[in-house]
């Protein structure tokens, strides 16, 4: 599952990520990419906190402050 510049648009991101975790296969991965040019840009640490609260474990991260991709496992 891959979310591109969407987490900042969602009013209840942890709730949305819990639903992603529920429907994701056990061996699946969740990818989240964000760009600084998005007006609702969330910081990497914020997205990581949301995903961790939803039951995901961090797996990989790429990029920098301006553009990043995070990968999580259920």
pLDDT, residue 13, reads 98
pLDDT, residue 50, reads 99
What mean pLDDT, rounded, does the chain reach?
98
pLDDT, residue 2, reads 98
Query: Which residues, 6 or more positions from 48, have their beta carbon under 8 angstroms from its beta carbon?
Result: 58, 70
How many beta carbons lie within 10 A of that of residue 32, not counting itself?
A: 27
pLDDT, residue 45, reads 98
Task: Supply the pTM of this predicted model.
Answer: 0.94
pLDDT, residue 67, reads 98
pLDDT, residue 41, reads 98
CATH value of 2-73 in 3.40.50.280, 3.40.50.150, 3.40.50.11890, 3.30.470.20: 3.40.50.150
Q: For the chain, list residues with pLDDT below 70.
A: none
């Amino acid at each position: 599952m891959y979310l591109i510049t969407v987490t900042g648009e969602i009013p209840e991101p942890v709730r949305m990520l819990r639903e992603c975790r529920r429907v994701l296969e056990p061996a699946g991965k969740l990818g989240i990419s964000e760009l600084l040019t998005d007006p609702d840009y969330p910081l990497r640490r914020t997205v990581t906190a949301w995903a961790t609260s939803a039951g995901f474990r961090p797996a990989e991260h790429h990029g920098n402050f301006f553009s990043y991709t995070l990968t999580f496992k259920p």
